[in-house]
Amino acid sequence: MIAGNKKDWGDKNWCIRAKMSMQDKHKCLRDPVFFRMSMDVPHHRTGKKYCAYPTYDFACPVVDSIEGVTHALRSAEYSDRSNGYTWVHEKLGLRKVGVQEFSRLNFL
C-alpha cells in the first residue's frame, strides 16, 4: 500500500505488480500489473476523487469469487491469463471459480 498524502506523490504514475515469475511461458503473467495510479489524468467518471484503479487481471477473479460466480465464461483470447486468475484466488484465499473457455459464441 502506498502511504502518505496525495499531494506528496506529485504528478507521478504508479503501478502495483504481482510478484509472480519472470520465467513464465506466458508473458502476460510475468509480474502483471494489478493496480494503476494516475495523478495527472482524471478518470472519465470520478474525476480526481480516486487515483488508483484495479486492472482486469486483479478485479475479475476477486469479484467473481465474492459474488458467487461458479463458472466464468471467457473467450479463448484470455486463455493465457487463466493461471493468473487462479493465482489470485490462491494467494488471497478466495473461493475458486471454474473457468470455461469458448472460441466462438453466437447469440440468436
Domains and CATH numbers, the chain: 10-102 (3.40.50.620)
Position 29 scores a pLDDT of 80
77: which DSSP letter? G
Comparing CA positions, the residue from 9, 38, 48, 30 lying closest to residue 87 is 30
Position 51 scores a pLDDT of 79
Query: Global pTM?
Result: 0.74
Positions in the chain whose pLDDT score sits under 50? 1-4
Grid coordinates standing for 77?
A: 483470447
